[in-house]
Amino acid sequence: MWTIRNFAQTRSTNDDAAPLLGAAEHAGTVLVADYQTAGHGRHDRAWVAPPGSSLLCTTILPEPIATSALWAVPFWTGLALADAIESLTGHRVTLQWPNDLLVRGAKCAGILCISRVIGTRAFVGCGTGVNVVRPDDTSVFAEVLPAPAFLSDLEPRITRDDVRVAMLAAYARRLPDLADSAGIARAWEARAELDGTPYRLLVDGSSEPIVAIAREIASDGSLIVDHDGRRRHIALADARVLREFGFDSIIEG
């Protein structure tokens, strides 16, 4: 089902995959890089990973999906990646809206999906950055608070190949789920134990974070929360999740 293409270095596997979306010969292609010089995450933030430390890859799904289901793909990816990491480490993975994976309260993986829409069909690439082997020099993460987690903290012998193999197996198992976007959202909510979870959010245009109680995922991927006695929809593009770390610091997640 998958064709793996390895690169020692590239700018960004997502950028490399974008022009391949929709080409029949690239369905199921997985671009994997040891190092990215311009890896990026959500909100245009840089995604930094020292060479060889992380699984940096973009997986082009074998089949297009319904354009109306696009919003659910990052949640689907998170579920599959959580399966993979839990099976390899035996540790519980926490899913945090919109699409972060945490272990022991620290981020171990991020997801940024790309797509090309042709009418009612969308061709999708699932970009994943998974911190696998803790590098000797972690100075590049000095600004990242709380510090990122690496899977080798949990399972010292783990390799990037282990994570890639388990992730692609989980994608393959879960491919049929992509036909049911509402089902993906319900599965994600259950896995994240979302209902009742407090989220500290910085909504664009506001300088003051709010603490809201998460309730569910709406049918466009936004987070439905209770805040100040009313129900609100927090759109994917319009807010950042802040993670509390320690006593009084507010940290962008």
Site residues, ligand BTN (CB under 6 A) = 12-14, 36, 39-42, 45, 47, 56-58, 100, 110-112, 127-129
- Name the minimum Å distance from CB 178 to ligand BTN: 20
Q: Is 24 exposed, middle or buried (0-12, 13-18, 19+ CB in 10 A)?
A: exposed
**99: burial class by Cβ within 10 Å (0-12, 13-18, 19+)?**
buried
Nearest to 57 by CA among 8, 130, 115: 130
Q: Which is nearer to ligand BTN, 40 or 160 (CB)?
A: 40
Q: Which is nearer to ligand BTN, 132 or 217 (CB)?
A: 132
Q: Where are the beta strands (DSSP E) in the chain?
A: 3-7, 29-33, 54-60, 65-66, 94-96, 100-103, 106-118, 121-131, 198-203, 210-217, 223-227, 230-234, 239-245, 249-252
Which of 114/217 has CB closer to ligand BTN? Answer: 114
Q: Which is nearer to ligand BTN, 98 or 209 (CB)?
A: 98
Q: How many whole angstroms separate alpha carbon 212 and alpha carbon 224? A: 9
**Cβ 39 to ligand BTN, closest distance in Å?**
4
Question: With respect to ligand BTN, which residue has the nearer C-beta, 50 or 127?
Answer: 127
Query: Running DSSP on this structure, what letter comes out for residue 99?
Result: T
- Smallest separation (angstroms) from ligand BTN to the CB of 221: 15
Min dist CB 11 to ligand BTN, Å, is 8
Q: In the bound complex, what is the minimum distance in angstroms from residue 54's beta carbon to ligand BTN? A: 7
| Rounded CA separation 181/75 (Å) | 9
* Minimum separation from the CB atom of position 107 to ligand BTN (A): 7
Q: Rounded distance, CA 224 to CA 235, Å?
A: 9
Residue 130 CB neighbours (<10 A): 24
State the nearest-atom distance from the C-beta of 16 to ligand BTN, in Å. Answer: 8
Q: Angle at which helices 160-174 and 73-89 pack, to 10 degrees?
A: 130
User: Between residues 74 and 209, which has the closer beta carbon with respect to ligand BTN?
Assistant: 74
Nearer to ligand BTN, 39 or 221 (CB): 39
d(CA 193, CA 93): 12
